[in-house]
Structure 1
Amino acid sequence: MKKFRVKRYEVPGWIITAVEILRPRKRLSVSKWAEKHRILPDGNAIPGPWRNSVTPYLVEIMDTFDDDVVEKIVFVKPTQVGGTSAMENMLGSLIDQAPGPTMIVYPSDDLAERTVDAKLEPMIKACKVLAEKYREHISKKLQLKFGTMTVYLNGANSPADLASTNIRYLFLDEVDKYPGASKKEADPVSLAIERTKTYTTNRKIFITSTPTLKTGHIWKAKEEADAEKHYFVPCPNCGQYIELKFAQIKWPSKDDVPDNAERAEMASYVCQACGCVITDQDKGKMLEAGRWEYVRKSTAQPKSVAFWISTLYSPFTRFSDIAKEFMRSKDDPELLQNFTNSWLAEPWEDTKLKTNADLVMERQTDVPALELPEWTKLLTGGIDVQENCLYWTIRAWGDFTTSQNVAHGQALSMAEVERVMNTAFSLPSGEKMMVELALMDSGDQTDAVYEFCLINAEWVRPCKGVPTMQGHYKISTVDKAGSRANGMQLVLVDGGKYKDMIAARMRRPNGRGSWMVHKDCDLEYAEQVTAEHKITERSKGKVVQRWELKTSHAANHYLDCEVYAAAAADVLEVRSLFLQNQEGAEKPQEKVDQPPRQEPAPEENWIRKHEEWI
């Protein structure tokens, strides 16, 4: 049989090159892409090639960007954990491997421009595969052009720029610093997400921020996510996986080590599982062996996943640094809020001003209703006027703003309130005292209130609530031309400040300086006095606090009464009562521009109590 020799030909190099170019690239995960291509600049904490081993907790967050099921990733973070770098890695990976129209939204246009100069362009130019695709000559400051895609950069303060051009990839950075929604426009987050609607099957939305308030964008996004994950690490002593919590950072007491700096330096983490000490030297290996675990999951295949982590996990922050910052911040509400947000990655709540009905009932004393504590030096009243009734309260005051509710109730007429406020109350010594000043809300039935206050000018003034003032109250006058009340004294009251005072003093144990109630206090009063709570919210780019009803149907009439009674006490200089202990000291009622009332004789009191008999 004849054999044939097969002639071999060498494949030209240009063909091999062409095949290599046309062959589909194997797509790397974001974390592997970063290790292969990302170079961190000299200003970074650890410059040079990106290493996932430094911040291993970022790996799953970055790789979730490649998950076909997940379309929204929420990252609630403190400062100094590498969150911004993770977002930049996602951006670089998609530019190189999965190009598509992309937008990054920053809190403002100015910040967007600064970020391009300081971070994005240096990252692009330091990364060879990105630099090759970058078309710098046709790019604009806020429009970076690449071979097959454009990255748009916008400030949340320019809503018009957020409402055009369809995009596939959306990055929302530091969303809790975005300005609020206007009357004409939706909030910036909603406007930006609206632009991804045409890519409903393959869009990606990454939202990240340090939290501010529970009502902030990032915390709401976390709560609305289908699933939530926290990072758990193995204890080097017992091996159990634990979540690092601030409460487990321990340091010596002030009695043992008086100096705060020394105490902070001695801080260490105590494992909640075994009680053994974990040091900063243990953290690196713990992080590397750590894993994200679901703490909440509402569906088998979540389309939105939230990741939460605190500064305790940062490889750049020691446990003693956290302790030191807490000691520096704990006595200053503004500093403490920053610590809570930027270090613990938790929303801020002013728990010192929380109140509840049980707390009021705990403030009961042994003194029955309608009787006065022995320390009483002053009685004031507060009257809240409603459409079909009036609520009233009478409060006793002593040195150092110590106070106690003597009586409270509901009246069907102003005449009934007049009788109550003209009642003589007895001290344990038998001495009689009467309400020296009451404030009456003039917001409802204004003309009738003014007329009542004119007739009873020796003991009652009209008052009006105002949102904010420098002081707690201000003396003004009624400006109503043609009215008998024109020129009458009107007390303007900053209710928020008095609610702060009541809430703070309510938390004190009974005694000097406390806000107390009588022995027979009822639950209805207790619930109304605590019907409001103080919330913190962002308004016009600023963080503000205000009191609001806990529920829309709650009644807060007794709280308003107590605010007016407290304001009346301030008008009578209650805060200086402790200076008036000397014989012949000026009596509080002489501070008001009205003659003091004459205390009724015993027979007058008897007649008042039995008017129906007459």
Structure 2
Amino acid sequence: MSAVTSPSSPRSEPSSGDLFAFEGAEELAQAWRDGLLPDPALTVSEWADRHRVLSPRASAEPGRYRTDRTPYMRAIIDALSPTHPARRIVVMKSAQVGFTEGGNNWIGYVIHHAPGPMLAVQPTVELAKRFSRQRIDPLIAESPSLRERVKPARSRDAGNTVLSKEFPAGLLVITGANSAVGLRSMPARYLFLDEVDAYPPSADEEGDPVALAEARTRTFSWRSKVLLGSTPTIHGLSRIEREYEASDQRRYFVPCPHCGEMQWLKFERLRWDKGKPETAHYACEPCDGRIEEHHKTAMLEAGEWRSTVEPQDPGTIGFHISALYSPVGWLSWEAIARLWEAATTDEAKRSFKNSVLGETWVETGEAPDWQRLYERRESWQIGVVPSGGLFLTAGADVQKDRVEVDVWAWGRGLESWLVDHIVVEGGPEQAETWKELASLLNRT
């Protein structure tokens, strides 16, 4: 006798109510919905005005950051936004113009709005640690949008140390230009090279630190952003001057409050009675009108950056800004006049030219042999074979974790040019390393 089987009940499908019947479900659903929304199209300056809070630990003017306090910085930091076509931004500057906070705005923007791997380079590892503690830690601690993305160093698995800050979809590494290991620690989409004129000539005898650092951005190609900023040093030796001269050399033009003519500010137009710096004022170049300190606020707000030359590389833009533009309440024209009157030695005048005017110092007298040799240098673009090159050779230095390749062009009379320096990541035990090296050597 066969067993009687009852008809099986139809299988019930979970209802939408069942799917969200657990603790935290609504928060999860909201996070999913938020993830479908595109990021707001903010520039770096818009982000700073909306989210940045200056710490009393790191700023003489704590509180909400306002770009209109230093209007000339707006175009500089907005060029660091992903939507801006420039890939390399060069800033030759004096002290007291707000550049450091502008660079910190970019770091905050990357952490919050456009995450990716970022490398920030100070002249030495010791200065990198100081920069992290005095600038980056307050930046994160005082801005809620950043504080919620970077865990405090004391939490478990924070990924947050003095020289490394992890955040969702990104990592900030801070290092010194004297550390070759730090400069090749990771590929970087964003590269912040600060005070490049203070960098050593070579990082641990492995080459120019700027070139080593910029090599880390090649993986990201046109999506990378590089910011080079510095107070200049000696003419002919200054890295930032060389980079600025290769750019479109922008100057900040401001209107005269009397005739309205646009002009960029020059030290020789600053006038005062000898021995009376308190009489300092600016003489308009077109009309010779007397411009007082209090006029600066309106002039800066109405100013605009203008290119003065055609750049050698269209992807590089350059800005020059001096302390003559410092906003009211910072370094005044009277203070600048006092500093110049006090500069009675060559060393003091050099410091004034570098740190107040943001200009290089030209050495006088008989140039030493090394300077004569340096002045014979020629400018060549990386990856381009000079017209005198007849054939190419390549040499490979095999290390335990990489292969470094130099490509040389050779011309008549054994004249030679270094055309490219390429780093192939991977050790000699990896087949992919040799495959990539072979592909590189077969290029024409």
Smaller-chain TM-score range?
Answer: 0.7 to 0.9
Is the CA contact (8 Å cut-off) linking 2:78 and 2:84 kept in structure 1? no
Is the CA contact (8 Å cut-off) linking 2:249 and 2:320 kept in structure 1? yes
Q: Relative to structure 1, is the Cα distance of residues 208 and 274 closer, same or farther in structure 2, using a 3 angstrom cutoff?
A: same
Q: 2:238 corresponds to which letter in structure 1?
A: G
Residue in 1 that maps onto 2:61: 46
User: What is the rounded CA distance, in whole Å, between the counterparts of 1:141 and 1:546 in structure 2?
Assistant: 39
User: What is the rounded CA distance, in whole Å, between the counterparts of 1:312 and 1:68 in structure 2?
Assistant: 28
Residue in 2 that maps onto 1:281: 294
Residue in 2 that maps onto 1:110: 126
Q: 1:305 corresponds to which letter in structure 2?
A: I
Q: Confirm whether residue 186 of structure 1 aligns to residue 207 of structure 2.
A: yes
Q: Confirm whether residue 213 of structure 1 aligns to residue 234 of structure 2.
A: yes
Residue in 1 that maps onto 2:360: 347
Residue in 2 that maps onto 1:534: 367
User: What is the rounded CA distance, in whole Å, between the counterparts of 1:90 and 1:182 in structure 2?
Assistant: 25
Q: 1:219 corresponds to which letter in structure 2?
A: E
Q: 2:268 corresponds to which letter in structure 1?
A: A
- Count of residues in Structure 1 that have an aligned counterpart in Structure 2: 342
TM-score normalised to structure 1 length: 0.53
Q: Secondary structure of 1:308's match? A: strand
Q: Secondary structure of 1:200's match? A: helix
Residue in 1 that maps onto 2:217: 196
User: What is the rounded CA distance, in whole Å, between the counterparts of 1:28 and 1:157 in structure 2?
Assistant: 35
Q: Give the C-alpha shift of residue 336 in structure 1.
A: 0.6
User: What is the rounded CA distance, in whole Å, between the counterparts of 2:375 and 2:324 in structure 1?
Assistant: 36
Q: Relative to structure 1, is the Cα distance of residues 37 and 349 closer, same or farther in structure 2, using a 3 angstrom cutoff?
A: same
User: What is the rounded CA distance, in whole Å, between the counterparts of 2:100 and 2:334 in structure 1?
Assistant: 25
Q: Relative to structure 1, is the Cα distance of residues 307 and 140 closer, same or farther in structure 2, using a 3 angstrom cutoff?
A: same
CA RMSD of aligned residues (A): 2.2
User: What is the rounded CA distance, in whole Å, between the counterparts of 1:119 and 1:550 in structure 2?
Assistant: 36
- Tell me: higher relative CO, structure 1 or 2? Use CA pairs within 8 A at least 6 residues apart: 2
Which of the residues 86, 98, 107 maps onto 1:82? 98
List runs of 5+ in structure 1 lacking aligned partners. Answer: 1-11, 254-259, 354-532, 536-544, 553-614
Residue in 2 that maps onto 1:313: 325
User: What is the rounded CA distance, in whole Å, between the counterparts of 1:216 and 1:550 in structure 2?
Assistant: 12
Q: Give the C-alpha shift of residue 151 in structure 1.
A: 0.5
Residue in 2 that maps onto 1:610: none
Q: 2:60 corresponds to which letter in structure 1?
A: A
Which structure is larger by alpha-carbon Rg, 1 or 2? 1
Q: Secondary structure of 1:266's match? A: strand
Which of the residues 155, 158, 161 maps onto 1:140? 161
Residue in 2 that maps onto 1:383: none
Q: Give the C-alpha shift of residue 549 in structure 1.
A: 7.2
Residue in 1 that maps onto 2:381: none
Q: Percent identity between the aligned chains?
A: 35
Is the CA contact (8 Å cut-off) linking 1:135 and 1:147 kept in structure 2? no
Which of the residues 181, 196, 214 maps onto 1:175? 196
Matches within 5 A, 1:42-441: 42-43=56-57, 44-66=59-81, 67-136=83-152, 137-181=158-202, 184-214=205-235, 215-225=237-247, 227-253=248-274, 260=275, 263-298=276-311, 302-315=314-327, 316-329=330-343, 331-351=344-364, 353=365
- Listed one character per residue, the Cα deviations across residues 74-93 of structure 1 (whole Å, up to 9, x for unaligned) are 01110010000000001111
Q: Give the C-alpha shift of residue 547 in structure 1.
A: 6.3
- Listed one character per residue, the Cα deviations across residues 86-125 of structure 1 (whole Å, up to 9, x for unaligned) are 0000111111111111100001111111111111011111
List runs of 5+ in structure 2 lacking aligned partners. Answer: 1-24, 153-157, 377-444
User: What is the rounded CA distance, in whole Å, between the counterparts of 2:202 and 2:260 in structure 1?
Assistant: 48
User: What is the rounded CA distance, in whole Å, between the counterparts of 2:91 and 2:42 in structure 1?
Assistant: 22
Q: Relative to structure 1, is the Cα distance of residues 87 and 250 closer, same or farther in structure 2, using a 3 angstrom cutoff?
A: same
- Listed one character per residue, the Cα deviations across residues 157-179 of structure 1 (whole Å, up to 9, x for unaligned) are 11222124211100000011111
Q: Relative to structure 1, is the Cα distance of residues 50 and 278 closer, same or farther in structure 2, using a 3 angstrom cutoff?
A: same
Residue in 1 that maps onto 2:426: none
